[in-house]
Amino acid sequence: MRKKNFAVILSGCGHQDGAEIHEATLTLWAIHKNGADFQCYAPDIKQHHVLNHITGQEMSEKRNVLIESARIARGKIAALATFAPDSADGLVIPGGFGAAKNLSSYAFDGAQCTVNPDVATAIKAMHAAGKPIGALCIAPVILAKVLGNVTLTIGQDQGTADNLAAMGARHQPTMQGEIAIDWERKIVSTPCYMLNSRIDQIGEGADNLIKAMLEMMV
């Protein structure tokens, strides 16, 4: 039987200005743990900004989202513009501020945000094909903006939940390691570091998310 294959969209490297490394790594771990495989992608664009992860201060340098994401993927990554929906059985977007700064403008524009065209195209294509989509941490806001009428979770933060509603989505409160499942639309989400979580709870959430997505592929 052919292994299921996940496309994983990364948004850089580092939770303040790119993909959250724990969430991204544990998502990849969960995919292999559950007998599936993955291909990482990232948009080939300039990173919004670069932050010192000790001080939180902006640094005077420029980085590329695809090149930075390759740090997590160990170089095995492709430009998101090359993604073909028939090459994957599911799509996953880990969180980190890169999802809200590089994949979208949510960090700056809230419910009025825009989404990177390659990201939006991939989401729409997978959704139209009836394939499951997963989102971790803050990444569900991207699905809300692109798809609208879906059930999602970002944990317990009321302000973000209000923004999801403003974009047409429904919020389901969750705690560490839990997932929200929209079976009809094949959407799975988990809060991760939107809550005060330990790394083992991040792994639990990623594992539960991947397991639910695999159930949707049967």
Q: Which residues carry out catalysis?
A: 137
Residue 79 makes CB contacts below 8 A (sequence gap 6+) with: 41, 42, 43, 44, 66
What is the Cα–Cα distance from 177 to 198, expressed in whole angstroms? 10
**C-alpha closest to that of 187 among 155, 208, 145, 216:** 216
What is the Cα–Cα distance from 142 to 121, expressed in whole angstroms? 12
